[in-house]
Amino acid sequence: MLNQVRYRRDSIVINKDGKPVAALVDAELFARIRRMRARFDELSARIAEAWASVPEQKGLAEIDAAVGVERAR
């Protein structure tokens, strides 16, 4: 399995009781995923900070309006 992941760049999903619980992936892909997750967390924190003073319902209404505009395009 390790050779399959390393040389063919395949991924292997490990199931328990028919449900996926883990995955065996290439180390480079795993490092990339971790960097992407860290960047996502940074961006999420910046967005949360920027919108902290906006009431939740107002923020959600603005998001819904923006999504509606984009879907209408």
- Asked if pLDDT for residue 40 goes beyond 90, the answer is yes
pTM of the predicted model over 0.75: no
**What is the mean predicted confidence (pLDDT) over 47-63?**
93
d(CA 73, CA 69): 7
Helices and strands: H and E segment counts in the chain: 3, 2
CB-based contact 34:42 (threshold 8 Å)? no
Q: What are 42's two structure tokens?
A: 């940074």
**What is the mean predicted confidence (pLDDT) over 40-50?**
96
pLDDT at 29: 93
Average pLDDT of the chain to the nearest whole number: 95
- What count of other Cβ atoms lies within 10 Å of the Cβ of residue 60? 11
d(CA 5, CA 28): 11
**Confidence class for position 9, pLDDT limits 50, 70, 90:** confident
